[in-house]
A = this chain, B = another copy of it.
Amino acid sequence: MAENNEMAMDMEAKNQQFDEDLEEILSRLDASNYFGAREIMLKYNEVDIAEILEEVLDELGVEKVIIIFRMLPKNVSVEVFSYLPGDDQVEIINGITDREISFILDELDFDDKIDVLEELPANIVDKILDQTPKEERKLINTFLNYPEDCAGSLMTPDYISLQETMTVEEALHHIKTQGMDSETVYTCYVKHGGRELKGIVSLSALVTADSDTLVSELMHTDYVYLNVYDDQEEVAEAFKKYGFLAIPVVDNENRLVGIVTVDDIMEIIEEETTEDIERMGGVMSDDQDSEYLDIGVFKHAKNRLPWLLFMTVMLMITGTLIAQFEEVLSQVIVLVAYLPLLMGTGGNTGTQAATLIIRGLSVDEIDLKDVMKVVWKELRISIILGLVLSAFNFLKIIIIDQQSVLVGLTVALSMVIVIIFAKLIGGLLPMAAKKIGVDPALMATPMISSLTDMVSSCIYLFTASLILGIAL
């Protein structure tokens, strides 16, 4: 592999270099110059090579990927494989021999192996399990049975077990004989009796302590732990909160069954964030693993349809309500020109409040008991914004549009009321959702704007009929 001892590049220069190399690799592969492509690829580390293979698969198809994948050094190819997305792994598995599959699976870390097996079709999994030693087969089956998206499905059973009575020297010797080379080695677990977790001790504590210190003197017993059935969102929260590199996972009897390491959590956080953002944008997707471009148009349409149908019904009701004010509208047709302004302002101010509250709830900055603080804050904010925006609009209506003062007053007054309502709806609805156990992210733009559209148009037209003295 190339050495980095030329002048250091910043991130932008590195990305540009990577893009150029990627183009060159694609064109060499397209021309079936495999050795030429391999030469450039090997300048990069395994994560980057995985990214290159993803592009090759997208652009040139699976055959070229398999040829170049087979040309990678064996140990590199296994690691590259572990960094590929699930569906790309399945495509490669389907194109290589059983012998190559076995080699890859044997070399993978246990948690990566479980991830791959979860993606593969059942008949291939059975074939693989047939060739696995009985003890490991049992363990694999246990892991495959944990519900997806829980701590049990994220953990690895590869961890270092120590005894309280060991000295540091004995502990380090034990670690050396176990010989694991991954991030799993940095926290060691001290068990009591059979499998009950007693405490944890970090490798750094062991390495920096005197050889004859006892493990029991170094271990922490106030460790943080996860339950196998804790949801992956809670797992991610625990890592964010404590900043640990690994957290032990125990079953209901406090027996240590595995550990979750921080490197697997980054992906989870990204998936959970994507889910939140999509829901806030009115998209109901059930797999955040799949990329936008890989999802078919019918699936995309299906993910978007529920919210659109809901909103259509809401907007129909709004239309029916507006139709009740036909008398006002037909007498002062110019009122129609300001309807979008009122509805849009309601939707936008409501969305702002909802966005902040949803995010605040999700990062634990806002608690359900803060509800009155939120109301009081949004009330004051909406009065400030209401005054500024309605003054601005009033002047524009009188001076530029040359409408009557009564029309200006109608718009200005209803705008203040609309903003107050919208901010309160936007602030309270996410909290109410959380209270009854519904995801607050569902109370973003689509829901808020549907509700505020309805409220805004009624407030506006009702105010108009009062100020302009038109009987309904």
Contact = CB atoms under 8 A, between A and B. Distances in A.
Contacts of A225: 4, 8
Given A240-B267, A329-B333, 10 more contacts: A5-B254, A11-B230, A277-B359, A304-B381, A308-B349, A311-B344, A311-B348, A312-B393, A316-B341, A330-B333
A457 B343 CA distance: 13
Contact of A336 (B229, B242, B311, B339): B339
Contacts of A197: 4
B392 A312 contact: yes
Contacts of A445: 281, 348, 351, 445
A10 B226 CA distance: 7
Number of this chain's copies in the assembly equals 2
Interface in A374-420: 374, 377, 380-381, 384-385, 388-389, 392-393, 396, 401
A269 to B, nearest CB: 7
Interface string A213-224: 000000011111
20 contacts: A6-B254, A8-B250, A9-B227, A43-B222, A51-B241, A178-B208, A181-B204, A186-B245, A203-B207, A240-B266, A274-B359, A278-B359, A280-B281, A281-B355, A307-B348, A308-B348, A315-B341, A315-B344, A316-B393, A343-B343
Contact of A283 (B281, B320, B355): B355
Given A208-B179, A348-B311, A192 B5 contact: yes
Contact of A384 (B224, B241, B301, B363): B301
B343 A340 contact: yes
- Chain A interface SS verdict (over half): helix
A21 B133 CA distance: 48
Interface of A: 1-11, 43-45, 47, 51, 172, 175-176, 178-183, 185-186, 192, 196-198, 202-205, 207-208, 220-227, 229-231, 234, 238-245, 250-254, 262-264, 266-267, 269-270, 273-274, 276-278, 280-283, 291-293, 297-298, 300-301, 304-305, 307-309, 311-312, 314-316, 318-320, 322-323, 326, 329-330, 333-334, 336-341, 343-345, 347-349, 351-352, 354-360, 363, 365-366, 370, 373-374, 377, 380-381, 384-385, 388-389, 392-393, 396, 401, 444-446, 449-450, 453, 457
A181 B187 CA distance: 12
A352 B316 contact: no
A374 B45 CA distance: 30
A411 B120 CA distance: 47
A305 B1 CA distance: 53
Given A4-B223, A318-B340, A337-B320, A385 B308 contact: yes
A429 B456 CA distance: 28
B47 A241 contact: yes
Nearest to A15: B234
Nearest to A179: B208
Given A203-B203, A221-B1, A251 B8 contact: yes
B5 A281 contact: no
Given A176-B207, A182-B204, A340-B343, A355 B282 contact: yes
Contacts of A227: 8-11
Given A221-B1, A322-B337, A356 B281 contact: yes
Contacts of A450: 344
B337 A298 contact: no
Contacts of A262: 245, 262
Contacts of A322: 336-337, 340
Contacts of A370: 293
A42 B219 CA distance: 17
A345 B291 contact: no
A352 B45 contact: no
Contact of A207 (B185, B293, B341): B185
A108 B393 CA distance: 54
Given A221-B4, A355-B280, A357-B292, A301 B381 contact: yes
A181 B179 CA distance: 22
Nearest to A304: B352
Contacts of A240: 266-267, 270
A290 B197 CA distance: 38
A400 B357 CA distance: 38
Contacts of A347: 347, 449
A205 to B, nearest CB: 6
